Amino acid sequence: MEKVIKVQDLTIGYGTLTVLDKVNFHVEKSEIFGILGGSGCGKSTLLKHLTGLYLPFEGDVQIFGQSIINCEDDERRTLMRKFGVTYQGGALFGSMTVAENIALPLQEFTDKSAEEIKQIIKEKLAMVDLEGCGPMMPSELSGGMRKRAGLARAMALNPSLLFFDEPSAGLDPITSAELDRLIKRLRDDLGTTIVIVTHELDSVFSVTDRVIMLDKNIKGIAADGSAQNLRDRSENSWVREFLSRAGMKFTN
């Protein structure tokens, strides 16, 4: 399988604090890949390094075969346009309408006409089940709708790779399940490669193909595999216990 992301001997942290030490993993094309672990294990820190927001102490991250670490700033910005990122609260600009938020990357990074941008906005809103919501302000949307609007903006440039930071955080179970179905639909219909940082185990068992589990005690990866297999067969008792906290309905 084609490897969309390759992480090699990555050491990351803040100041003199090492959070993860020499971790290695990869993400395959069209895979829904989860990053799990307890509080303080480095999930969000790792995501910021994968997306080029932070530079590591050591190691490399390759996306689409190109290093996002060992490159010039302009090359990094070009590479960052090839993927989309959604944040916990949607990260929409509150003074702009939903449509204006989605238009931003198109206006900044393309030479498309106003009419073309209007059509793309309409298509992206339909894709996330928000038809007709373009004129609304973010404050008028529910939490789940804001997350979907943020996803529409992340998809504006048609990236083949999407990063989700705690997509279900703060959502009720029904809204969370709807978002899970949307994530799976993106992969199934478009072949999008998806990386999810989450602590919501119901979502982990619903949507991910494979996960890594970060352990702050070893500052590294404690397990790598399908969530179901790790829960049922991992030799690491902590991994089995962590994943067994999911609802018993996920027994396959």
Residue located via tokens 């373009």: 134
Q: Which one is predicted more confidently, 102 or 178?
A: 102
The ranges assigned to domains in the chain are: 1-82+160-252, 89-159
With a pLDDT cut of 90, the percent of the chain lying above it is: 67
pTM: 0.89
Q: What is the pLDDT of residue 199?
A: 82
Q: What is the pLDDT of residue 92?
A: 87
Determine the Cα–Cα distance for residues 16 and 4; give it in Å rounded to an integer: 31
> Is residue 90 very low, low, confident or very high in pLDDT (cuts 50, 70, 90)?
low
User: Nearest CA to 83 among 100, 61, 99, 98?
Assistant: 61
- Residue 112 sits at φ, ψ, to 5 deg, of -70, 150
Q: What angle do CA 119, 124, 128 make, to 5 degrees?
A: 150
Residue 248 above 50 pLDDT? Answer: no
Buried b (16+ CB within 10 A) or exposed e, 15-39: eeeebbbebebbbeebbbbbbbbee
Determine the Cα–Cα distance for residues 42 and 64; give it in Å rounded to an integer: 23
| 169-181 pLDDT per residue, tens | 777 888 888 888 8
Amino acid at 11: T
Determine the Cα–Cα distance for residues 70 and 60; give it in Å rounded to an integer: 7
Residue 71 above 60 pLDDT? Answer: yes
> Is residue 89 very low, low, confident or very high in pLDDT (cuts 50, 70, 90)?
low
User: Nearest CA to 148 among 116, 117, 124?
Assistant: 124
Q: What is the CATH class of 1-82+160-252?
A: alpha beta
Q: 161-165 and 193-197: which strand pairing?
A: parallel
Q: Which one is predicted more confidently, 172 or 6?
A: 6
Average pLDDT over residues 242-251: 60
Residue 59 above 80 pLDDT? Answer: yes
Q: What is the pLDDT of residue 166?
A: 86
With a pLDDT cut of 70, the percent of the chain lying above it is: 96
> What distance, in Å, lies between the first and last C-alpha atoms of the chain?
25
Q: 3-14 and 17-28: which strand pairing?
A: antiparallel
Where are the strands (E) in 123-192, listed by range? 161-165
In the sheet that holds 161-165, the strands lie side by side as 83-86, 161-165, 193-197, 32-37, 210-215, 220-225
Which are the contacts of 189, defined by CB distance < 8 A and separation ≥ 6? Answer: none
| 205-218 pLDDT per residue, tens | 999 999 999 999 99
Q: Which one is predicted more confidently, 221 or 40?
A: 221
Q: Which one is predicted more confidently, 45 or 199?
A: 45
> Is residue 77 very low, low, confident or very high in pLDDT (cuts 50, 70, 90)?
confident
Determine the Cα–Cα distance for residues 8 and 151; give it in Å rounded to an integer: 28
Residue 246 above 60 pLDDT? Answer: no
| 124-167 pLDDT per residue, tens | 999 888 999 999 999 999 888 888 898 899 899 999 999 999 88
Determine the Cα–Cα distance for residues 122 and 235; give it in Å rounded to an integer: 49
Q: What is the pLDDT of residue 87?
A: 79
